[in-house]
Structure 1
Amino acid sequence: MVQWTDLGDVSSAEVDRMRAVYEPLAGAVRELVDATIRTEVDAETVAAVKAEIDAATARLRAVQCDGPFGVRFTAGGDRMAWGNPVIGIRNPVAPPLTIHQDSDGGVFTDFHLGAAYEGPPGHVHGGVSALVLDHVLGEVAANPESPRFTGTITLRYLRPTRLGRLHAEARITRTDGFKAYATGHLADDEGITVEAEGVFIQPKWARG
């Protein structure tokens, strides 16, 4: 079941205020994840930090939503997919990506992946590459008026993707009724590393 939540008449200013509150928190936890992976401090320091983290977690759990964040909309058209593992500004798992639209109707994003996304030493885990490309292709294949979800996606790994600054882009190649066909790729500083093509399908509940 897709969890959509209508927040009603919430102003863009209030959305910006909430962003200013929660986005830095997620950013701090991302830094904590990176530090946790790479730290070489002694056991006593690790134990002390764990106790501090446990206490902070308990404070955050004092008031929380029941279940996942879902996708929340305001009457002004703000779309808050803040729990998403790719673009979610409240999700420390997300890099997060910021998706831009180009003049030809395609989408692109430039982002950074560090130690938390490593598979082969010094390189991005293949599943993370798939996660990113599934999302980027989905962004170009869908819109608020015509939501579409992944039907199939095929990936071709040309070579390992280096950790660091990366680029991804996608565009629609054609549409056929309730289906949209999209292609895209992921690239590091040496060029394209993964190519993708997918079919994205409008669910029955969204068809007029």
Structure 2
Amino acid sequence: MAEGAALGPGERAARREAVGDLGGALRELADAAVRTEVPEDELAGVAAVARELAARLRARGRGLHEVARVDDPETGERWYSPVYGPGSPVAPSLVAADTPDGRATGRVTVGKPHEGPPGLVHGGVVATLLDHVLARAVRAAGRGGLTATLTVRYRRPVQLGVPLLLSAEVGETHGRRTTATARLVAEDVPEVVLAEAEGLFVSLRPERAASVFAHMDRPVGAWTSSSDG
């Protein structure tokens, strides 16, 4: 079980700083792990230390359906998101922003841990990044819900280690269904589209949301509600 009750603003800020510091260290470790060519005995030694550290972190944990105290699930802010979470050891550290008119942007440089073909970003990672900015644009416009369909067109290979820019904007809304479009470009060649996507997002009916998220220990309004109720 997670320790204690909800955090106050100052406590949450302090914990977020510590969580982000650990996440950054773990991302450095992940990068080193996928690039290392040290001898096998050194690999074994590091693996043993890693297991000891994992045991220390498991001394206090939360269950699969418990939301982290550093999160804000009402606004969709996830500190351990695998896309942008400062505390996530697997996130490519997307830095994203949005505006109330239903637009979202992101900046990211993808490294070796997310490689697909040699030297290129894995296509699934490209899709994940696009899905996130699409969803963020939809939430910024006051719509909630989950991805129903995602269509990605890969226009050019996406190179590792290149600063990338993503942009998305909300489209039409019909009842519980909202569309959005997004694109990905290299920061230094913004006129060349590397990938683009279209997404359909559906806000869940109250009874369906209650079923899907029945085991969560906190409300998750960012995925279940919309501005028109």
TM over 0.5: yes
Q: Give yes or no for the alignment of 1:58 onto 2:59.
A: no
Q: Is the 8 A contact 2:170 2:179 kept in 1?
A: yes
Q: Deviations over 1:119-153 (max 9, x none)?
A: 11111100110111111101101259531211111
Q: Give yes or no for the alignment of 1:198 onto 2:195.
A: no
Segment drifting more, 182-191 vs 36-45: 182-191
TM-score, normalised to structure 1's length?
0.86
Q: Is the 8 A contact 1:147 1:202 kept in 2?
A: yes
Q: Is the 8 A contact 2:102 2:138 kept in 1?
A: no
SS in 1 for 2:200: strand
- With over 3 angstroms needed to count, the CA separation of the structure-2 counterparts of 1:86 and 1:137, relative to structure 1, is same
Q: Is the 8 A contact 1:169 1:185 kept in 2?
A: yes
Between the two proteins, what is the percent identity of the paired residues? 37
Q: Which runs of 5+ in 2 are unaligned?
A: 207-224
Q: Deviations over 1:29-82 (max 9, x none)?
A: 1111110111111122112111111111111111111125546439xx775412
In structure 2, the residue matched to 1:159 is 156
- Where in structure 1 do 4 or more consecutive aligned residues deviate above 6 Å? none
Q: Give yes or no for the alignment of 1:120 onto 2:121.
A: no
Q: How far apart, CA to CA, are the structure 2 residues paired with 1:85 and 1:52?
A: 24
- With over 3 angstroms needed to count, the CA separation of the structure-2 counterparts of 1:112 and 1:68, relative to structure 1, is farther
Aligned residues: 199
Q: How far apart, CA to CA, are the structure 1 residues paired with 2:205 and 2:101?
A: 29
In structure 1, the residue matched to 2:92 is 95
In structure 2, the residue matched to 1:138 is 135
Q: How far apart, CA to CA, are the structure 2 residues paired with 1:112 and 1:68?
A: 31
Segment drifting more, 13-22 vs 99-108: 99-108
Q: How far apart, CA to CA, are the structure 1 residues paired with 2:60 and 2:47?
A: 21
Pairing partner for 2:184 from 161, 186, 202: 186
Q: Structure 2 counterpart of 1:182, which letter?
A: A
> Which has the higher relative contact order, 1 or 2, with Cα contacts under 8 A spaced 6 or more apart?
2
In structure 2, the residue matched to 1:85 is 82
Q: How far apart, CA to CA, are the structure 1 residues paired with 2:147 and 2:51?
A: 37
How much is the aligned-residue C-alpha RMSD, in angstroms?
Answer: 2.3
In structure 1, the residue matched to 2:72 is 73
